[in-house]
Structure 1
Amino acid sequence: MFHLFKTTLLVIALCLVLVSPSLGSEPVNLNTATVEQLQSVKGIGQKTAEKIVAYRTSHGTFSSVDQLCNIKGIGKASLAKMGDQLCVQ
């Protein structure tokens, strides 16, 4: 009986680990995100996040995620990796 309970707990824990990264992983809005929020995107570190906010401040809101390619250090390959984690609204 204990073995079944232990196995059930293990299966539940494994399911939570596999599913939890996708739960609540809303895309980060380029037009409202802070430097800290931008850093939650895989592939965006502090310096890149700061560049994104600076670009937004001097050029206005983003009309598409593709505009990130206008920022030095962000190319099409980088954008392809992180684009699905970002949005504009």
Structure 2
Amino acid sequence: QSINPGETRPVKIDLNSATLDELMALPKIGQVTAQRIIDYRVKHGGFKTVDELINVKGIGEKTIERLKNEVSIEHGN
């Protein structure tokens, strides 16, 4: 089995622009939690830090630690 060069390094998912499907691809994030992340993002104008996920219902410290290597925060606009 060969791995495509583009698959060797996964790209981090930006919490401030990720779609529902992208969020659901994260470990331990289902559809309900993914929608809560989007709802929080819309209500609060985006995430400033990954640790802010603690304010999303259903996400605890262990999940945040697991996600830190999977997500990023882009500060656009």
Q: TM-score, normalised by structure 1?
A: 0.73
Question: For residues 72 and 53 of structure 1, what CA distance do their matches in structure 2 show?
Answer: 12
User: Which letter maps to 1:87?
Assistant: S
Q: Does 1:27 align with 2:35?
A: no
Give the letter for the 1:69 counterpart. I
Larger Rg: 1
1:76 aligns with 2:49: no
Unaligned runs of 5+ in 2: none
Give the SS at the match of 2:28.
coil
- 8 Å contact kept, 1:43–1:82: no
Structure 1 residue aligned with 2:29: 44
TM-score scaled by structure 2? 0.84
Measured on the aligned residues, the alpha-carbon RMSD in Å equals 2.0
Identity, in percent, stands at 33
Give runs of ≥4 in structure 1 deviating > 2 Å: none
Corresponding residue SS for 1:47: helix
Structure-2 separation of matches of 1:50 and 1:83? 19
Matched residue count: 74
Larger fraction in helix: 1
Q: Which has the higher contact order (CA 8 A, sep 6+)?
A: 2
